[in-house]
Amino acid sequence: MKQYIFKILAISILSLIIGFSLHFAQIKNFNINLYILILVFYNVIYGATHYRLCKQLTSKKFSLTFLSFSVLKLLILMSLMGTMLFLNRENVLFIAVTILSHYLVFSINDIISIMAKIKGQKQNQGDLKHE
């Protein structure tokens, strides 16, 4: 879990650097407050679901749990995007690009992390069988 937190922090710091660069470049319709809010939301959602998935890793229903959490995250994030688009119609492109790009980056990181944990768990089980 610590490794995942460090990766999330690295992604967040890189994202903040990009966000502040865009803010200081005075890109039209760029709202740094919304950008940070979206980033914090992603950190909370992905951190919480990753924690729960790591707890379920040994469960026989892990596949179902993983898929359920993936669908739940997607629904929550699309609801967030719909709400933000409805409330901030002048920032439609900014909100859509920000939410979808963060979704892509955070999802890739989440999948890579979970796959590494599964692979590590299988290797540990294989080592125990050989002893």
pLDDT of residue 129: 53
- Return the structure tokens found at 52: 């729960």
- Report residue 103 as tokens: 């979704």
The string of pLDDT tens digits covering residues 32-66 is: 888 898 899 999 998 888 888 888 888 888 888 88
Q: What is the pLDDT of residues 69-124, one digit of tens each?
A: 889 988 998 898 889 889 888 888 888 888 889 999 999 998 898 888 888 777 76
The amino acid at 21: S
Q: Please state the rounded mean pLDDT for residues 3-29.
A: 87
pLDDT value of residue 125: 63
Q: What type of residue sits at position 105?
A: V
Distance CA 94, CA 127 (A): 49
Spatial separation of the C-alpha atoms in residues 96 and 35, rounded to whole Å: 11
The count of structural domains within the chain is 1
Whole-angstrom distance, CA of residue 102 vs CA of residue 99: 5
Model pTM?
0.79
Q: Which pLDDT does position 127 carry in this prediction?
A: 53
Q: Which helix (H) or strand (E) holds 88?
A: none
Give residue 50's domain range: 2-130
Residue of 39, 68, 42, 32 lying closest to 53 (CA atoms): 68
